[in-house]
Structure formats: C-alpha cells, structure tokens
Chains A and B, each alone.
Chain A
Amino acid sequence: MQTDLAGTQRSALRPPEGPPALAVENVTHRFGERTALDDVSLTVPRGSFTALLGPNGAGKTTLFSLITRLYDNRSGAIRVLGHNVRGEPAAALSRLGVVFQARTLDLDLTVQQNLLYHATLHGIGFRRARQRALEVLASVGLADRAKDKVRQLSGGQMRRVEIARALMHRPELLLLDEPTVGLDIGSRAALVEEVRRLIASEGIGVLWATHIIEEIRPGDRIVVLHKGRIRAEGSHESLLAGGAPDLSSAFLALVGEAPSPSATSVGGEP
C-alpha cells in the first residue's frame, strides 16, 4: 500500500510540510444507476506535477466537479490543503485554482476584464487585482495582450489566459482538466512547459488530467483512472517497474480489456 493515501497522518509526522495540496479519500459518485467514480483515492503532494491519466469517460471530469464542489461528494472526503470541501468549502475553494475543460472566458471582454472579474469573485479589490493581473499575465507571456478582447486570441493563448486567471488568487493547488485539448503540438508543449515552470517557481501542486501520454515526464507522479476506478498511483518509474517497455504500454495494460482483478498500486513514494 502506498503511503501517499495516508497523507494526513504523514503530515502529523512531518509538520513542516503540512497536508498535501489535494487528498481524495474513498470517493464514490453515482449518476442514477451509473457509477462514475468507484472508491477513488489519490493524493497530490505540494509542489508536484501529478498527471491524472485516463481515457475519455474515465471519470476525470466528474472528479473535478466534485473537487470544485459543483457536485457534492456523498461518500469519502476531499481535502484541499487539509480543508474538507464539504465542511470548509470557503477555505478549500479559496486555495484552489481551476482550468476547466470547456472554455470559460468571456469572449467579448478583454483579457484584463476577465482576470479582474475572477479576482472579485475571490474578494480581491480592483486595485490589487490590476497589479496581480500584470504579474500573472507576464508569467504566462501575455502581458502585452491585457487590453485585447479574448476573441482575438488563439486557442493556445486563451488557455494561457485561463491559467493566468486561475492563478489570480494565488492558489496552492491548480487543477487542469485536459487543458491541451484542441491545441496544436507546439502550443501543447508550451503549455505543459508553462505549468511546470509555475510548479518550480510558486511551489503549486498541480493535478493535470489528460489522456495524452506524451505530456508526462520522468519524475512526474501518475494516477491512472479507468472506468471510475484508480488502476495505479505512483511515480513514472514505478509504473514501468512492471516490465512494460514504455509508459504507453504500461498504461494500455492497466486500462486494457482484461485489467487485473483489483485496482493495484504500482508504486511507492514518488
């Protein structure tokens, strides 16, 4: 059993680190008869890049909806930096930045207006928000586009604006739901790079949902979700420890037609 799942207990032993950026514990979610998530547990340590890898329909978006409290989790617990999203939604949500799969920018407003609107939703006044907008736009390389309408941006630029927006309130956990969908290879790579830089500079914990294996690097933590169940959780290296020649084949073996009888943990500590 990997020790990650007991993140809260570990945190007691290692107080300086504090609770993980995200801890999902035994969450099951059903839509009517259909079970979208089945006893899902995973951890995103602080300052880590954790890839949530799963084919379409694996339950990634449902999981995101639960973490962002669009739906209520009726079982298990979801903690953001130790704050349960059910019991302390304000504390949890204020530490959380999200980039949804669907585009969520106001196309007719300018980049800056979009960012300011988001800041006010987090209670940040206009004056401070303007300052912060310049910072975050600079960090994603779009400082010169602040006054442009979002409609005039390319798909990749819009995504970067969404990331900038998610950073406006200085979250400590960043969730991205298939952020590279619809982008060309160049912008895709640039976006992944961007987010990795943020982890390095800001120490943010990142949960990156994707079904594109190329976006994962050695050293990343990987959680494989398939048909609502966690099939593996561990480091890049530990996923390969089973003898698979590369990550794709390891992944395909995990989500193949004949998966191992129980959800197995492939690895130990990242």
Chain B
Amino acid sequence: MSFLPETGPRRLPLRGYAVCMAGICWREALRFLNQRGRFLSALVRPLVWLFIFAAGFRSVLGVSIIPPYDTYILYEVYVAPGLIAMIQLFNGLQSSLSMVYDREVGAMRILLVSPYPRWFLLLSKLVAGICVSLLQVYAFLAIAWFWEVEAPPVGYLTILPALLLSGLMLGAMGLLMSSLFRQLENFASVMNFVIFPMFFTSSALYPLWKVQESSLPLYYLCRFNPFTYAVELIRFALYGQFDPISALVVAACAAVFLIAAIIAYDPSAGLMGRRGGPDAAK
C-alpha cells in the first residue's frame, strides 16, 4: 500500500542516528551562516578584551613563570586561553538561548517529535553547538596569532580535545539552564548573572596565586568555579600539555550537567509537563 513506509526508521538503525545528528549540526551551521552578526560579535568580544583590556593591563600585571609557561609571558598570552573559554561560555549559553527561542517559536517541538531518544537529540544539539564554537575559537586564535599570542604549532592540535570537553561542559550547563527557564526574558538576565560572575571568579584574567594574595574568599570562589578548570584545561592543552585535575573536573561537571539536563527534558521524569499549562512548551 502506498502509505507503508519506504523510508523512515521503524527500528532506528544505527545509520539513522548518524543522519539525525548530522542533520541537527547542518541546521545549526545554516542558521549560523545566516546570522553573520552572531559570528562577528562572538569574535569581536574576545578581541576587544585582547586588544584593549589586555594591552592596557600589560604593564600593570606582571605574570611570573607558572606552568604551562616556561618563560615570562605577555599578559595577552596569559588571557588568551581565558578568552577562548569565554567564547565557549558565550556560545554554550547562546545555543541554549536559541533552544529557549526554539521552544517559544515551536521549533523545539519539531525536534522532540523525532523518534530518536531524547538524550540523543539533546546531545546532538550540544555537538552542533560545540562545532560552531570550534569555528569561533580557531578564528580567534588565527587573529590572536598576529597579536603575538603564538602557541607551539602542536598546541593548535592538542587544544582540540580540550575544547570538545570544555564545550561539552559549558553547553550542557546552558542546556540545563534552558530547561529551567521558560521565557527569553528570564534567560537574558541569567546570562548576565552567570557569564560575568563565572568569568571573573576564575583564572581567566589572573592566575590563582595572585588572587590568593589579595583575597582568600575570592580564591576559594575561583577554586570551586568549574569555569576555572575549563580555562586551565585549555591553557595547558594550548601548550601541548595535559592537566589531569582540570580534565577530571571538567569531565565530571559535564556529565552532571548533561544528565541533569536530560532528566529535565525527559517527559516522564521531567519538569516540562508539570509546570504551567499547555503554553509551557509551545
């Protein structure tokens, strides 16, 4: 009969999973290309920090030799990994912001009526977001290279797994947050309350030993901030080194955030059906 399926997964073959994830990444890429402003602002933001903030502080803040650096470094070189993590933080929250937006315009429903398991759809969304963040990070690194932020060549390769892991953590965090906020307005203010505190109470702008010298409570705050570990993971990886503690913390946080987000989006365990009325997830 004509309506019997010729296409479409009835038993969800493995290949279908790959197609599904590729499709989600493809849509993200198309949207990304359509929003050049997003790419530009994602690039300009860290560059402003690099060109203006870091240049200004170059003379004020001396950074002594600490691992992974084996020589005195310019302040620009010190902040670069932090700015890379910032790109990922912004991107992670932005792609979950787009999920809140998707939910408001209903595109989220189209995603969630896919027969593939919900955890896989959310993971695919995350992977798509990470791919976009990789583009942004490498564009930033290319420009920073002309600004005397030069890592050893191998560093540009070894940073990749670090970026994947930190992107996963920050993206999963955004995903979890997007499940908790129903409307865009809430979310926009959360961006301010999350991004800046996270960025400032980390080792992105100043080494932790320096923070410890000036304020012990702040030091502990930085120590308990997962973003610090993302920054350090990226910093070491950019110089071809591996920081196991950072990797462990980032991986653990990524797992916790991801599982929490999947639970939040799961219809049987989740919060979606319990909150509000039929408008909750239109």
Contact = CB atoms under 8 A, between A and B. Distances in A.
Interface of A: 29, 31-32, 34, 36, 59, 61-62, 65, 68-72, 86, 89-96, 98, 100-104, 106, 108-109, 113, 116-125, 128, 132, 169-170, 172, 201-204
User: 10 tightest CB-CB pairs across the interface, nearest first?
Assistant: A120-B23, A123-B16, A71-B273, A102-B106, A104-B106, A121-B114, A169-B8, A94-B115, A123-B9, A93-B115
Interface in B180-215: none
Contacts of B30: 109, 113
Interface in B97-126: 105-107, 109-117, 121
Nearest to A62: B278
Contacts of B1: 203
A128 to B, nearest CB: 6
Contacts of A96: 113
B273 A94 contact: no
Contacts of B5: 94-95, 169-170
B17 interface: yes
A170 B3 contact: yes
A59 B277 CA distance: 10
Nearest to B14: A123
Nearest to B2: A202
Nearest to B270: A72
Contact of A94 (B10, B105, B111): B10
A132 B7 CA distance: 9
B31 A123 contact: no
A123 B12 contact: yes
Nearest to A124: B7
A114 to B, nearest CB: 9
Contacts of A65: 273, 278, 281
Given A98-B113, A122-B114, A103 B106 contact: yes
B7 to A, nearest CB: 5
A102 B105 contact: yes
A69 B6 contact: no
Contacts of B4: 170
Contacts of A70: 109, 112-113, 267, 272-273, 281
Contacts of B282: 61, 100-102
Nearest to B276: A31
B23 A109 contact: no
A34 B275 CA distance: 11
Given A96-B113, A123-B13, A169-B7, A103 B27 contact: no
Nearest to A202: B3
B246 to A, nearest CB: 35
A128 B23 CA distance: 13
Contact of B8 (A36, A62, A69, A94): A94
Contacts of A108: 31, 34
Interface string B228-266: 000000000000000000000000000000000000000
22 contacts: A31-B273, A61-B278, A89-B117, A90-B117, A92-B115, A94-B8, A94-B115, A96-B113, A103-B105, A104-B105, A104-B106, A104-B107, A109-B31, A120-B23, A121-B24, A122-B7, A123-B12, A123-B13, A123-B116, A128-B7, A169-B7, A203-B3
A121 B110 CA distance: 9
Contacts of A201: 2
A69 B113 contact: yes
Contacts of B107: 104, 106
A228 to B, nearest CB: 11
Interface in B41-70: none
Contacts of A122: 7-9, 16, 20, 114-115
A31 B278 CA distance: 9
Contacts of B275: 31
B221 to A, nearest CB: 37
Contacts of A95: 5, 10
B8 A123 contact: yes
B71 interface: no
B9 A94 contact: yes
Given A103-B105, A106-B31, A117 B23 contact: yes
Contact of B19 (A98, A100, A120): A120
A71 B267 contact: yes
A65 B13 CA distance: 26
Nearest to A85: B267
A65 B22 CA distance: 26
Contacts of A62: 277-278
A91 B10 contact: yes
